[in-house]
A = this chain, B = another copy of it.
Amino acid sequence: MTSLDITSPESPVRLTAVAAPDQPDVTPALEELYRGFEQELLVPLWTEIGDLMPAHPRSRAVPHLWKWDNLVALADRAGHIVPVGRGGERRAIALANPSLGGRPFATPTLWAAIQYLMPGEDAPEHRHTQHAFRFVVEGSGVWTVVGGDAVPMNRGDFLPQAGWNWHAHHNASDRPMAWIDGLDIPFQYVTEAQFFEFGRDEISEEERVTPTHSRSERLWAHPGLRPLGIQHATPGSPLLAYKWEHTDRALADQLELEKQGYAGTVEPGHAAVRYSDPTDGSDVLPTIRAELHRVTRGAETAPVRETGSSVYQVFDGSGTVTVGDTTWSVTRGDLFVVPSWEPFSCRSEAGASDSDSGALDLFRFSDAPVFEALRLDRTSKDPR
């Protein structure tokens, strides 16, 4: 059939006529039509609709668990053989969801990595439009310098880092330190809105001498109080560190209120806070939501489905988490992903090495602000 000749050999479009109830009859005319489509770089909806327009989200990502001990061991090995410096920029090692083609994407929209800095090391200054944060599950001694403001990092601290701010890291201690980075790299990889610039190669001596609180905290970490002398017009929170002492107390207060019979928790035994921008109460970053959840010993959360994906890290305690059909035992530092529309629940259970409090503390970040801004958010408590 000469019609096949018209097919440009290099067209990336490849159409296969298949015999199926919903598909047109497989005939020479159809084959010729498909070759025409290929040549003109066209794809019909009727062969793709099942994949592109499913009845409900069926994520290309899968639930997966990464054990913290393994991550730290590999990061430490990298610390001894991979230098950190201009070009590579960061000793960050990202989670690659097993069903996203080996790309460093924890979910289709979220990047999660362990970053590791050796004693005395600096990660050089740069800025990028990707929104980022750090969360510290253990250790201390590193300072993130943001626009010249040195922000200490200690266990439990959450540090949002809105896009296009200059930042560098400096390990001021005599021990290596690990923490996690979360970014919207996969999302911006799709939307193609990324800009990147190199900054100074070295931070100043002054930036190495660091107070207990960043300047941002001295301006913005007073509850319900705004500084009148400061304008804040750029996207994202001007508060660069949410210290653990505040988060811990907020969660404890909710549980105490519950004990006294008052509203406060999300559900019995389940306290939670959302990190928010003090200038408008919104999420700390335009594309990323971050929360800390505390589930008391023996309590269990009700399964919830949401559009959009999340990454969790166990901050403290032990328990079991269920994502879709998968259940894992988890303990401090472990990371796992919840793809879009997969039901998620968890249960706090005593582990051998746990502290007395026995609560399961889970740090969570997600792409929810994207969905809410575009009115694509949907939630269901229906277990299906």
Q: Which residues of A contact B (CB under 8 A)?
A: 11-14, 21-24, 27, 29-30, 33, 36-37, 40-46, 48-49, 52-60, 64, 66, 70-71, 74, 77-78, 81-83, 86-104, 108-109, 113, 128-130, 185, 187-197, 215, 218-230, 235, 237, 239, 242, 246-247, 249-250, 253-254, 256-257, 262-267, 270-281, 284, 286-287, 291, 307-309, 339-341, 367, 369-371, 373-378
Most chain B beta-carbon neighbours within 10 Å: one of A102, A129, A374: A374
CA distance A191 to B70 in the complex (A): 30
Copy count, this protein chain: 4
Smallest beta-carbon distance A358→chain B, Å: 21
Given A36-B77, A87-B21, A281-B277: A242 and B224 interface contact (C-beta under 8 Å): yes
Decide if B64 touches A109 in the complex (CB within 8 Å): no
Smallest beta-carbon distance A113→chain B, Å: 7
CA distance A256 to B219 in the complex (A): 11
Contacts of A219 in B (CB 8 A): 253-254, 257, 264
Partner of A264, one of B24, B57, B104, B229: B229
Using CB atoms, name the residue of chain B closest to A271: B229
CA distance A124 to B15 in the complex (A): 24
Smallest beta-carbon distance A145→chain B, Å: 14
Q: 22 A–B contact pairs at CB < 8 A?
A: A11-B102, A12-B99, A12-B100, A22-B88, A27-B81, A45-B90, A49-B87, A59-B192, A108-B191, A191-B308, A191-B367, A215-B262, A218-B254, A220-B223, A224-B242, A224-B284, A228-B273, A229-B254, A229-B263, A229-B265, A277-B281, A281-B281
